[in-house]
Amino acid sequence: MSEINSVGIVAQQTAHFNQPLTLKSGDVLPAFDLIYETYGTLNADKTNAVLICHALSGTHHVAGKYSPEDKNPGWWDNLIGPGKPLDTNKFFVIGVNNLGGCHGSTGPASINPVTNKPFGASFPVVTVEDWVNSQALLADYLGINTFAAVVGGSLGGMQTLQWSIAYPERIKHALVIASAPNLTAQNMAFNEVARQAIITDPEFHGGDYYAHNVVPRRGLRIARMLGHITYLSDDAMGAKFGRKLKDTIKYSFDVEFEMESYLRYQADKFAGEFDANTYIRMTRALDYFDPATEFDGDLSAALRKVTAKFLVISFTSDWRFSPERSREIVKALLDNELPVKYAEVTAAHGHDAFLMPDEHYHAILRSYLSKVEV
Amino acid sequence: MSEINSVGIVAQQTAHFNQPLTLKSGDVLPAFDLIYETYGTLNADKTNAVLICHALSGTHHVAGKYSPEDKNPGWWDNLIGPGKPLDTNKFFVIGVNNLGGCHGSTGPASINPVTNKPFGASFPVVTVEDWVNSQALLADYLGINTFAAVVGGSLGGMQTLQWSIAYPERIKHALVIASAPNLTAQNMAFNEVARQAIITDPEFHGGDYYAHNVVPRRGLRIARMLGHITYLSDDAMGAKFGRKLKDTIKYSFDVEFEMESYLRYQADKFAGEFDANTYIRMTRALDYFDPATEFDGDLSAALRKVTAKFLVISFTSDWRFSPERSREIVKALLDNELPVKYAEVTAAHGHDAFLMPDEHYHAILRSYLSKVEV
């Protein structure tokens, strides 16, 4: 079934932008690459394009596989494909790795053409606004004037919201899932702990660890463990692991409980794959995003020029981006008399629910997207 | 006002136990010290003693000051003193530093008389049960057969519950505040992250850092930051810091938001004061505590021999030890037809609320304790 509905074998592509991009920080990237994938076919009028914005540790590899043997399809493969809720028979779907990322787009580990060495610490701090601006350049490059929809969960939802603010004429529908109009102090605090773990790791070397042929593994491990706790609900962790012992109690600091084994496994895996400089930049982008700031904290005012239609979805057990935060977005949209549909999905998985093939959740997406005109 | 009601200048005392203590792990401590303080006067019948059990980073210094200039009274000074809810005109109150601690009782930093070096990694893993057993020896030492009450918040509440189970004939009232019958998987996961931060700090040296004249500062900092997030509610952090910037945005990884400044300050302070080996042992004691384990997870069965009267208090915004967890204790007590009063206090401060002089909370304690017969 999943094979039949798969977008099949996919390949990533690179768009090179030989033009300076001025970032929100004031820094300028003289040139940059964006790596992306596409699924489905762009129609003649170029009106059926859907942009997927990824979250903290996401990538451009959203659907499909790189080879028949590939056991790890794209991260939203359960959602995207022929006949799936985001139907590639209808839509032309684009996944892109964000600037500052570590999966092919220009980022801290990329070679700085000026020095012929990795950017490292010198790679600028990028923001949600910068990502959206660079994604707009990718749309230009692909000849797409207007997206039928921009879709994102979590930090991806923030990009979607920013799309509706920055480019109202270029986005028809905004699907904002498990997201928020900004981070709470608690969320920012978790980010700070993760960053401090990375930055104080002796092998971080101020961000220039590439030159030392090491990575700040210890810090990345802690950051990832912490992430996993906040992505899952207390109940979901309880259901998955509870207080189950791995073996008999040893009265030690080695793995005693199954949950510890899970966290350490996830931590080790992540620390071997993800770039620490990217991680600290992604969390900073989360911290900084707050479109209401320029409007004295008034989100409704921040959304005054928005014209897109919205679908906002939250999950009951998501304590990182709680339903309450989604309702703030909905309220601000309604203040502007914008068309918005809102669903609060009963789900046990916490923040991670937005990645899961929950039947109710997918039915909502399928129904909404089936009515999107292309 | 607080000066008038203060227990005044206090001094710590040491009880030396020249007898072996067999721990739950099977390890034996051949001899040990417990450091403690007392407030008020033990009556002739020795029936007015109240034991205070401390939480993760607590100490025996519960009330009063060490000198007139001392700016930091004991950690529960707002509760304990003449005329205060736990009235030292009526009760003889005892604070004790737990075994494995770092404030005077025998712990990992203590000198092992066999090697003449700090115990370090060789100090055993101690449990809530071990603490209660050692506290019972302290009661013997002080000539106290029965406590009018044992009182504790958080991990201290677990000790209080264990007192009621292990020594039913020696405890008349159990005051279990902001506690739980065991940790949830999520709580244990936070503990594991804190421990991993400490243990993977290169300056931990497997727990024998004393010999290297260093401390695993980085790990302790991360552990403490994480602790602070879980002690406060999201709302309390929002009210205290919100998204307030320290200065203008610098697009950097230095302190940008006030909350970051607070976390780093608390982290630095703690890392200079607290012993890492104690921290990892305290969190392990939290993980292991689960009196229902021996009864196939049936807490009611675990409490079958309990005879104490209970006051159980929880706080609405406490997500570390939520009201739901306190209600599990209440239910198990009621299953055994034990007298229990339960209060769910509306408070914004999260888990930390148990340390705050909330009017409603203190009124409940005052009312309950005024009826305790001595």
Residue B294's Cβ-side half-sphere holds a number of Cα atoms within 13 Å equal to 7
Window 177-196 of B, Cβ < 8 Å to A:
182-186, 188-190, 192-193, 195-196
Picking from A61, A59, A79, the residue whose alpha carbon sits closest to that of residue A2 is A79
- Per-residue model confidence (pLDDT) at position B348: 94
Residue A70 has pLDDT above 50, yes or no: yes
Residue with tokens 């003649």: A44
Q: pLDDT exceeding 90 applies to what percent of chain A? A: 99
Tell me the pLDDT tens digit for each residue of A202-211.
Answer: 999 999 999 9
Which tens digits make up the pLDDT trace of B142-181? 999 999 999 999 999 999 999 999 999 999 999 999 999 9
Separation between Cα atoms, residue B19 and residue B29, nearest integer Å: 8
**What is the distance in angstroms between the CA of the first residue and the CA of the last residue of chain B?**
27
Q: Mean pLDDT throughout B182-211?
A: 98
What is the separation, in whole angstroms, between the first and last Cα of chain A?
Answer: 27
Q: What is the mean pLDDT of residues B44-73?
A: 97
Q: Could you tell me if A27 lies within 8 Å of chain B, comparing CB atoms?
A: yes
CB-count exposure of residue A266 (10 Å: 0-12, 13-18, 19+): middle
Q: What share of chain B has pLDDT > 90, as a percent?
A: 99
Q: Which residues of B touch A225 (CB under 8 A)?
A: 189, 192-193, 196
Q: Which of B188, B240, B328 to mutate to test the interface with A (most CBs of A within 10 A)?
A: B188
Residues A140 and A94: their CA atoms lie apart, in Å, by 13
Report the amino acid identity of residue A232. L
Give the residue on B whose Cα is nearest the Cα of A228: B189
Does the structure show a pLDDT above 60 at B2? no
Q: Which residues of A touch B26 (CB under 8 A)?
A: 251
Q: Measure the CA–CA gap between A35 and A33, rounded to whole angstroms.
A: 6
Give yes or no for A199 touching B (CB within 8 A).
Answer: yes
Read off the DSSP letter of residue A97: P
A214 closest CA partner among A272, A265, A282: A272
Integer angstrom CA distances of residue B88 from B49, B79, B91, B305, B372: 10, 10, 5, 30, 13
Residue A212 has pLDDT above 60, yes or no: yes
Amino acid occupying residue B213? N
The question of whether B212 is a catalytic residue gets the answer no
Please check whether residue A276 is in contact with residue A216, taking contact to mean a CB–CB distance below 8 angstroms: yes
Half-sphere CA count of A241, side-chain side, radius 13 A? 23
pLDDT at B371 over 80: yes
**How close A226 comes to chain B (CA, Å)?**
7
CA angle at residue B326 from B357 to B276, to 5 degrees?
70
| Mean per-residue pLDDT, A277-288 | 98
The pLDDT of residue B97: 98
Q: Does residue B71 carry a pLDDT above 60?
A: yes
For residue B150, give the nearest of B63, B77, B49 by alpha carbon: B49
Answer whether A276's CB lies under 8 Å from A215's CB.
yes
- Report CA-CA distances (Å) from B269 to B14, B55, B166, B194, B221: 26, 18, 37, 16, 9
Determine whether the interchain pair A186/B222 forms a contact, defined as Cβ–Cβ distance below 8 Å.
Answer: no
Q: How far apart are CA A150 and CA A48, in angstroms?
A: 11
Helix or strand holding residue A191 (H, E): helix A185-199
- A20, exposed or middle or buried, with CB in 10 Å at 0-12, 13-18, 19+? exposed
pLDDT at position B1 is: 42
User: What is the nearest CA distance from A328 to chain B, expressed in angstroms?
Assistant: 15
pLDDT for A120 beyond 70: yes
Q: Decide if B229 and A183 are in contact by the 8 Å CB cutoff.
A: no
Banded pLDDT at A4 (limits 50, 70, 90)? confident
Q: Does the CA dihedral A100-A106-A110-A111 come out positive or negative? A: negative
Residue A15 phi, psi dihedral angles, 5° rounding: -110, 125
- Decide if A276 touches B, using CB distance below 8 A: no
Q: Where are the alpha helices (DSSP H) in chain B?
A: 128-141, 155-166, 185-199, 217-231, 234-240, 258-271, 276-288, 299-302, 323-335, 359-370
Q: Chain A contact for B328, CB < 8 A?
A: no
- Give catalytic residues of A, as residue numbers: 154, 318, 351
Calpha distance A332→B243 (Å, rounded): 19
Q: How does B69-104 read in b/e, with b if 16+ C-beta sit within 10 Å?
A: eeeebbbbbbbbbeebbbbbebbbbbbbbbbbbbbb
A334 to chain B, any CB pair closer than 8 A? The answer is: no
Residue A53 confidence (pLDDT) above 90: yes
Give the bridge partners for A81, in sequence order. Answer: A87
Provide mean pLDDT across the span A88-96.
Answer: 98
What pLDDT, on the 0 to 100 scale, is given for residue A3?
A: 61
* d(C-alpha B62, C-alpha B72), whole Å: 11
Select from B193, B234, B263 the Cβ nearest to the Cβ of A222: B193
Question: Residue A190 and residue B48: Cα distance in Å, rounded?
Answer: 44
Å between A263 CA and nearest CA of chain B:
8
What percent of chain A lies above the pLDDT cut of 70? 99
Contacting A residues, span 47-106, partner chain B, CB-CB under 8 Å: none
Q: What is the pLDDT averaged over residues B332-356?
A: 97
Task: Tell me the mean pLDDT in the region A61-84.
Answer: 97
Tokens 């799936």 -> residue: A84
Q: Give me B14's structure tokens.
A: 């040491």
Q: Please name the member of B190, B221, B252 whose beta carbon is closest to the beta carbon of A200.
A: B221
Q: Of B25, B87, B108, give the one whose Cα is nearest residue B372.
A: B87
Q: What is the pLDDT of residue B4?
A: 74
- What does the alpha-carbon distance between residue A140 and residue A265 come to, in Å, rounded to a whole number? 41
For chain A, say whether B267 makes contact (Cβ under 8 Å): yes
Binary contact (B185, A226; C-beta < 8 A): no
pLDDT, tens only, A147-202: 999 999 999 999 999 999 999 999 999 999 999 999 999 999 999 999 999 999 99
Residue B20 contacts A where some CB pair is shorter than 8 Å: no
Q: Is the pLDDT of residue A1 over 90?
A: no
Cα distance between residue B64 and residue B273, in whole Å:
20
Q: In the block, which residue shows the tokens 């570390």?
A: B320
Assembly ipTM: 0.96
Predicted confidence (pLDDT) per residue in B234-271, tens digit: 999 999 999 999 999 999 999 999 999 999 999 999 99
- Quick check: A284 contacting B, CB < 8 Å? yes
- Per residue in A283-321, pLDDT tens? 999 999 999 999 999 999 999 999 999 999 999 999 999
User: Can you point out the beta strands (E) in B40-112?
Assistant: 49-53, 80-81, 86-87, 92-96, 111-112
Q: What is the DSSP letter of B33?
A: E
Measured between beta carbons, which residues in chain B are less than 8 angstroms from residue A241?
185
Distance, CA of A284 to CA of A277 (rounded, Å): 11
| Beta carbons of B198 and B279 less than 8 angstroms apart | yes
Catalytic residue among B77, B318, B352, B358: B318
Tell me, yes or no, if B253 comes closer than 8 A to chain A by beta carbon. Answer: yes
- B14 pLDDT higher than 60: yes
- Average pLDDT on B23-32 reads 97
- Of residues B15, B338, B326, the one with CA closest to residue B164: B338
Q: What are the b/e assignments for A25-41, b being 16+ CB within 10 Å?
A: beeebeebbbbbbbbbe
Rounded CA-CA distance B362/B343 in Å is: 11
- Name the residue facing A200 among B185, B196, B218 (closest C-beta): B218
Q: How confident is the prediction for chain A on average, in pLDDT?
A: 97
In chain A, the residue whose alpha carbon lies closest to the alpha carbon of B124 is: A251
pLDDT reading at A260 higher than 80: yes
| Chain A residues within 8 A of B264 when measuring between CB atoms | 196
Task: Name residue B293's amino acid.
Answer: T
Exposure of B208 by Cβ count < 10 A (0-12 exposed, 13-18 middle, 19+ buried)?
middle
pLDDT score at B3: 61
Map residue B13 onto helix, strand or coil: strand
Indicate left, alpha or beta for B42 from its phi (over 0: left) and psi (-120 to 50: alpha).
Answer: beta
Neighbouring C-beta atoms of residue B3, cutoff 10 Å: 9
